[in-house]
Amino acid sequence: MRTILLCCIVTTLTSATFPQDRTNARSMVISTYGIVATSQVLASQAGAEILSHGGSAVDAAIAANATLGVMEPDMNGIGGDLFAIVWEAKTGKLYGLNASGWAPKALTIDYLKSKSITKMPGEGIDTVTVPGAVEGWNRLHQRFGHTAWKDLFTPAVFYAENGFAVQELIAMDWRSSEDKLKADPESRRVFLPHDQAPQMGEIFKNPDVAKALRLVATDGPQSFYKGEIAQAILATSHEFSGTITAEDLAGFSAEWVEPISTTYRGWKVYELPPNGQGMAALEMLNIMEQFEPSKTGPLSSEELHKRIEAMKLAYADLARYNADPRFAKVPVRGLLSKEYAKQRSQLIDPQKANCDTQAGVPPSSDTTYLTAVDREGNIVSLIQSNFSSFGSGITVRGMGFALQNRGALFMLDPAQPDALAGHKRPFHTIIPAFMEKGDDHIGFGIMGGANQPLAHAQFVSNVVDYGMNLQAALETARFTVRSNFNIGCKILIEDRVPAEVRQRLSSMGHQLEVRGDFSLFMGRGQAIDHNTKTGLNFAASDARTDGSAEPEVPPNLRQSIPSGNRQP
């Protein structure tokens, strides 16, 4: 596998591959020390700094995530949810954490009907579910943390108080959310300085979220669910006639879960179980495995058609069956069986797109992603989100963070598995992932709502079927869809896919919307591989993001560099 990871993307147009002709824009970061890969350089540096001071991969991930919440307030923050997979190098054991919040007890179908609401709104107070991120950090730190809790938030508080330069891609998303933010006076005050979104390179400060993070750091997680932050959340909910109560906040806890998995051509690939959508990535891989990889490469019409059609079948099942397993029976084992994949694969016409894919009957039985590895080889695959940009659009009074709108994915049909109910967790799009074979153990994730399962499957196939290294596997042109439901034949595809391939796909019935070279619609990914034989860590950060993979400074080197003295 080391040879596979260090080689450039395989091409089929020439008899040899040359480094000068590679198609990926960046190189991997390779180190025997820890590495943190996130969508913001300063957040990656914050996590790497924690590693340099002896912190664990989990410590680094929490510090990086808190910093991302400051720098990408549209995508994530303490008002959102969190999922994580942790690989423990010493034991080889994998741990899963579901820190997605539940709906308020009083937020029910009957309650919304009493307000003449017949369809779940996309934003506003009735989409707010209890934020799970802080409780997720708490559970992770209790089990795997080395660094003192209070010290994990130092970088995030620093940037919130002193400001940071807004990066290119976040500035674009921020600007597109101006109308949403102007609908709430507090969101407008906090996130629209000078009554407009900050421009690329503008220094943005958020003293309110610095206050909230300091409370979390000094008073612990209880400050969010029972203390001063909780009171601010309740006051904000009351102002909008929301249903959140003190009991909804205080009673919430994250849940350790067993990851689900499948095999793909000798690799074992892991996702988290429902209420997340990770099972769709695994089902898609199972269906793809029924076909041989295309001999003409990953961007051939044959390969892309197979991937697209496998995605439609998996997503149809996802839309039909995914729900909170505490409230509905989700047939995960049946959906992930190889026999079921064989049945589903027979529905794929190699020459024609299916524009009306239906769910099968299995046998019974705006987001940020980061990954970190420490010098012991422990890996964290973590994803955290507000759902849509700035979540519900409602900012907690005096605390500087937006509340998520995860409840928007509930259904108001009581016959559906994902029907709204009090203290039920909604359908979740955010999914961390992990894959391993032999000495190689890879934590990876690719953001972007409905994009995530299909992007995971494309990444895995790029590594396994086409011998790409992590960076090439992330950067290779992809396709995506806008929704998990009612997909039809509408596919978004990057224009780096050759024109003749796109023309062939169109002739097969695919309705293509061509996007740019490195489109944000395809998601922003990160990946880290730890090789247990060599002790090397390989890391990649998607060229579709503002971020980077940052290695820690070796402790001995840090100690040998004298502190600078300012001259008078």
Active site residue ranges: 367
The radius of gyration of the chain from alpha carbons, rounded to an integer in Å, stands at 23
One-character DSSP codes across 259-287: PEEEEETTEEEEEPPTTBSHHHHHHHHHH
Q: Which of 268, 261, 259 is nearest to 463 (CA)?
A: 268
- Distance between CA atoms of residues 398 and 394, nearest Å: 12
Q: Which of 463, 479, 471 is nearest to 305 (CA)?
A: 479
- Distance between CA atoms of residues 237 and 153, nearest Å: 26
- Distance between CA atoms of residues 233 and 165, nearest Å: 28
CA dihedral over 281, 283, 289, 290, signed as positive or negative: negative
Q: Which of 495, 494, 435 is nearest to 465 (CA)?
A: 435
Indicate the DSSP class of residue 124: S
Indicate the DSSP class of residue 194: G
- Distance between CA atoms of residues 149 and 214, nearest Å: 11
Strands (E), 163-316: 164-165, 203-204, 255-257, 260-264, 267-271
Question: Is 461 in contact with 307 (CB distance < 8 Å)?
Answer: yes
Cα 217 vs. chain centroid, distance in angstroms? 24
- Distance between CA atoms of residues 259 and 276, nearest Å: 11
SS3 state of residue 40: strand
In DSSP terms, which residues pair with 31 in a beta bridge?
537
Side-by-side strand order, sheet with 479-480:
479-480, 490-494, 511-515
SS3 state of residue 411: strand
Indicate the DSSP class of residue 562: P
Question: Is 531 in contact with 439 (CB distance < 8 Å)?
Answer: yes
Backbone angles phi, psi at 219, to 5 degrees: -100, -10
In DSSP terms, which residues pair with 549 in a beta bridge?
37
Strands (E), 64-208: 81-88, 93-99, 164-165, 203-204
C-alpha torsion angle, residues 487, 488, 494, 497 (rounded to 10): 140
